[in-house]
Amino acid sequence: MLITFKSVASGNVMMFEKNAREALGVFGKDPDAPQGIVTVEQLPGAMAALKAAIAADRVKPAEQAKNDAHPDKPAGVGFCQRALPLVELLERSLEDKAPVIWGV
């Protein structure tokens, strides 16, 4: 199932449910809620939390490569790649002072 994040400030961001719920949990929203809103006042905190989680996720592949018995194995798509479009949506929404809503 897909979850769509919408704002009048930018185009929609669609994510698979599993990934969207992970992002919602990172920025303090109920990941099990079928829909919700990130108010303009909540946008800076949500962006900061997502950026911190992205930074932490970028460290994982380097650490995993050092400990991996198969260094030739390609790395999968991580949280950092999946969350960047959502960060951009939040940034544009903050610039335009527009809330972000999500739903199934």
Span 55-67, pLDDT tens digits: 998 887 655 655 5
pTM of the model: 0.82
pLDDT in tens, the chain (104 residues): 999 999 999 999 999 999 999 999 998 999 999 999 999 999 999 999 999 999 998 887 655 655 565 666 666 778 888 999 999 999 999 999 999 999 97
C-alpha span between 12 and 101 (Å, rounded): 10
Q: Where are the domains of the chain?
A: 2-65+77-103
The three-state secondary structure class of 7 is: strand
Pairing status of strand 35-38 against strand 10-16: unpaired
C-alpha–C-alpha distance, residues 71 and 35, integer Å? 41
